[in-house]
Structure 1
Amino acid sequence: MKILYAKDFNRVLDFLTINLDGVTLAFSTAENDRSFNRHKDYGINNLNSIVKDFNINNIKYLNQIHSDEVLVYRNDFENITDKEGDALITSEKECAIGVFTADCVPIIIVDDKNKVIAAIHSGWKGTYNSIVTRTLEKMIDEFNIDIVNTKIFIGPHIRQCCYEVSEDLKEKFIDKTNIDRDILFKGRNLSLEECILKDVREFGIKEDNIYSLDLCTHCEEDIKLFSYRKSVGTYGRLFSFAFIK
């Protein structure tokens, strides 16, 4: 796994961006308190502004429900933003697909050779149910992606340093993942990233194609981020997305 640092990013407004071969990834911050809550007018306005800011045609996202449901967006799927799910795949150009988070894990998958992208919202339920694996499987079934060249980007989320869970949930994760408990947990603090890393490695993603932003939404000090736990429920939403040019 490779760690991405501030020097690895471009800064576009309130976003940390990465440009690959014809694909752009963007992770929002809370530097200017710019929140992307799809249920608020200001959130919709901020989402729609991405189209202008990044010079693309449209933006698509799902009604997230903490599931392992994976959908595919094509241009004839007009009302996909009304559909429930937590991962979205597309090969359409000039269309951003993204996910909302405020402690959960945003994951962007890119096959920049075949120009196929996915955006995943992986909370503890999605992580437990291996939503990243479900997404990779669907990307192969629908688009025959090239696993050798496929890249995984794990965005800002509440990390093991700050994510305490119940003893019951701890035992469930240990039993389900078979990851060494001393790696997966520090006390009752869970590493969602270790679960995701296990899934993508077992799927065949090369280590050099796995990237982590290594930013904790709860305790990061250099870059301002929204955190559900830190704000005790009064929180903004981050938006992580990708598009193909």
Structure 2
Amino acid sequence: MPLVLAPLLLLSACGPRPPQAPFPVQTLADAGLRPLSAEALQACATRLGLPAELPRPADRTNYGERQRLDAFGREVPHTPQLIVLHETVISAPDTVRLFATPHPRDDDQASYHLLVDRLGNRLRIVPDAGRAFGAGMAAFGDFTVRIRPQSVGSLNNVALHLSLETPPDGRGDDDAHSGYTEAQYKAAAAQVLLWQAAHGIPMTRVTTHQAVDRSRSRRDPRSFRWDRFEAAWRQAVQACGLPAQAYDRGRATI
């Protein structure tokens, strides 16, 4: 009998073992870009000539905080490292009302950081420091952030979400629509550049909701023209006097 009890007593004295994480913490490689100073960012924003953001805050149920630790107490990536482009499908006013409406159920919660309407106005939905709920089941390549043991992974902890208002002929489930206005491309490109400069994000980490979605249900932004976006982006780079090659190096940095 003592030979049987001794190991049991030893285990009891040691207490319960801490739970073992079923997954490793994933990180993105250092992109090698240092953020600009606050003064340089302000100078860039002034040269771009963007109108001031229009505050359209989301209800507090529709966004959260960037989380530093996972369920096992390990530090996880929690600063902006990716920019994800979306479209609204519904009108900008309807989108603002949707995000301003309280949604207690997790499945109903959604938001972006910024929304660009058809006139090129930038509507501020969630502060950049906040965790917008724009891409819940998502991965960039193989990279994703898991907070809870049962989580399949999300990019919201490291993403900045920008959405374009969909044109009236695209407010359905068709594969394509008439596209976005020149004002939208100009405002979106300028905002993306400001985010890149503020957080050291290369163009290879500017992506779309469709590209990162793992639910296989998202296709936005439909009819997005990368050539028009890039042309507007290069104009913004030139206006700011920044080296384009620093942010667009033509290689992936996963």
Give the TM-score normalised by the residue count of structure 1.
0.28
**Larger CA Rg, structure 1 vs 2:** 2
Pick the structure with more strand per residue.
1
TM-score, normalisation: structure 2: 0.27
